């Protein structure tokens, strides 16, 4: 697991999961068990990938329900601006999250 800031500098890395471990379990272990990990201050958030669930200090994009067709990937917004109030925060999210993807070389 890695965390980078807006300047594309890694601020945290954890390489301790052996074998096959779900990402959400790794995140929970780091939050609960690593004294070096700095939890976000109140009102601040780490952006997390869409596979994770939102929790205090950790923000994932809004996926909506299966019927809503909510866009949450950067390339999906090439078709036009956000269409509703659920997509607007996703547009902001993907703009910021692209820094993380560039840092990891995705």
The pLDDT value given to residue 65: 66
The pLDDT value given to residue 92: 86
SS (H, E, C) the chain: CEEECCCCCEEEECCCCCCCCCHHHHHHHHHHHCCCCCCCCCCCCEECCCCCCCECCEECCCCCCCCCCCCCCHHHHHHCCCCCCCHHHHHHHHHHHHHHHHHHCC
The pLDDT value given to residue 11: 87
The pLDDT value given to residue 66: 63
- The answer to whether the pTM exceeds 0.85 is no
Spans of the chain below 50 pLDDT: none
């Amino acid at each position: 697991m890695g965390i980078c800031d807006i300047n594309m500098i890694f601020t945290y890395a954890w390489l301790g999961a052996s074998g096959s471990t779900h990402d959400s379990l790794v995140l929970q272990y780091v939050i609960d068990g690593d004294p070096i990990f700095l939890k976000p201050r109140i009102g601040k958030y780490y952006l997390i990938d869409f596979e994770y669930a939102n929790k205090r200090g950790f923000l994932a994009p809004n996926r909506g329900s299966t019927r809503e067709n909510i866009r949450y990937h950067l390339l999906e917004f090439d078709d036009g601006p956000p269409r509703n109030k659920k997509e607007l925060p996703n547009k902001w999210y993907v703009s910021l999250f692209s820094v993380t993807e560039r840092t990891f070389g995705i």
